[in-house]
Structure 1
C-alpha cells in the first residue's frame, strides 16, 4: 500500500458494502442511550441545528431528528449518503462532505461520534478542528467521542476472526508510528480483499494541544456512554465536550 493510499484508506473502505457488513451489529440501543444522555447534559433547545459528521448511513441523525432537532448528516461516502437520503425530510438533511473542508452552515452543536477523528497527520487534524469551530454558532458545542488510548493499549485484541453474513473477516491490530492500525482480510465475491484502518493514537494531552490551537476549550470529559466521569486508566471512551 502506498503512502497516499494509507493516508486515504477511508475513501475506498467506507464506500464498500463490506464495511457495513462488518459493522452492521453496532449496538443501536447503546448508541441511542448515549444520544439521550448527551442531549440531557447539553440541554439543547428542540429547534437546535445539529451536524452529525461523519454520519455514515444516517442512523444517529435519524434518531436525533426523531427527538425534534433539525439535523444535517454529512459523510465522505457517496454510497452512504445515497442510502441515508431516503430518510430525508424538511428537518433532516444529508450531504456528501469531507471534514477537511469548511462547512457553509452554522450549527448549535456538532457531533463527531464513534472514533471518527484522528485519521490524518497533526496539521490536518487541527485543520479539521478549525473547520468544526467555524461551523459552530456563538456558544455552540462540539462533542468528540474518541477512544481512550491508555485503555486501548492495555486491552488491544491483536488478532480475531469475525463472521458476518457468511464472510469471515480476519482482523489484526497493531500500534505503528503513533497510529492504531487494523488490517482486515477476507474473501468475498470470488476475490480476496484487504483493507486497512488507521486512526491516530491521540492522548488527552495531545488532543488538548490540538484544541488550544483550534480555539476550543474543554468543558467536560466523560468516560462511558452513560456519561460517567473520565478515568485515564479505566475508561473505555474519551468523550469530550468542547466550546
Structure 2
C-alpha cells in the first residue's frame, strides 16, 4: 500500500486497526465525556454529533447520559459494528467529514485526534466550515487534537507490540509536516504496511484555519480533566469553538 492513498480510508476499515487499539481506555474516555458535558452545560435531549465516531464508544456513552446522538464515520466496517447499538435516540451513519451535514446540532464533537488527516490544507478548512455550518445558534464544537509540540519532543522512533498473536512493528517520524506512524506486521500469511499521518498543527496554525472560516476559540484545554492548555507540558490540545 502506498502513502499516497488516503491512509484513513483503508486502515480504519481493517480488523487489524481494531486489534492494535483494543486496549484503549474506556474509563478515561468516559471521564472526558462527563467533564465535557458538565462544562458545556448540555441538556438532556440535546442533539450531539460524534464526528469520526469509529465503532461508537463515545456515542454510546453520551447517549446513556440522556443525549440524542448521531455518530458519523467514513469507515463502513466501523459503522456496521456501531449500528448494533442503535436505538430511538442513537443513530450511526457513514459520512466523510469533508461533506456538509444535512442537519444542525447543539454540539459537534471531533475526538481523539480525528482532524488534520488531509494533504491539502483546504480540505481541513472545509471540515471546519462544515462543523461551523452544522451548529445551531449557540451551538458549540469540540476538537480534541494532540499537542503536536509535545508529541514531536517525545516521539518514540520504534517499538513493537504483540496483540492477539500479531506483532505490530511501529516506526514514528516527521515527514513533509506530518507526524507519521508506520505500522508493519504479518497476519493471515501476508505482510501488511499501513500509515497513520496527522498534520503537525500547533495552536497558531490551527487558529489560521479557524480565522479563515470565522470560527472562534472560546477556550483551550490541555487534558481530559480540562486543565488549561500549556504548549510545553499539555498532552492534548482541546479546542472549544463557537
The runs of at least 4 aligned residues of structure 1 exceeding 6 Å deviation read none
Aligned counterpart, 1:200: 199
Show CA shifts across 1:82-131 (max 9, x none).
Answer: 11001000100000000010010100000000000000121110011101
1:134-161: per-residue Cα shift (whole Å, max 9, x none)? 1111111110000001111111111110
**Residue in structure 2 matched with residue 55 of structure 1 by the alignment:** 53
TM-aligned CA deviation for residue 47 of structure 1: 1.0
Q: 1:67 Cα deviation (Å)?
A: 0.2
The alignment of Structure 1 onto Structure 2 pairs a total of residues equal to: 241
The whole-number CA distance in structure 2 between the counterparts of 1:53 and 1:126 is 15
Provide the C-alpha distance between the structure 2 equivalents of 1:240 and 1:222, rounded to a whole number of angstroms: 7
Tell me what 1:239 maps to. Answer: 238
The equivalent residue for 2:214 is 215
- Which consecutive residues of structure 1, in runs of 5 or more, have no partner in the other structure? none
Q: SS of the residue aligned with 1:90?
A: coil
Alignment partner, residue 163 of structure 2: 164
Correspondence 1:13-24 to 2 at 5 A: 13-24=11-22
2:128 is equivalent to residue 129 of structure 1: yes
TM-score, with length taken from structure 1: 0.97
Three-state SS of the structure 1 residue aligned to 2:54 is coil
Unaligned 5+ runs, structure 2:
none
Counterparts of 1:1-243 in structure 2 under 5 Å? 2=2, 4-5=4-5, 8-120=6-118, 121-243=120-242
In 1, distance between residues paired with 2:78 and 2:210?
29
Question: TM-score w.r.t. structure 2 length?
Answer: 0.98
Deviation at 1:3, TM superposition (A): 6.1
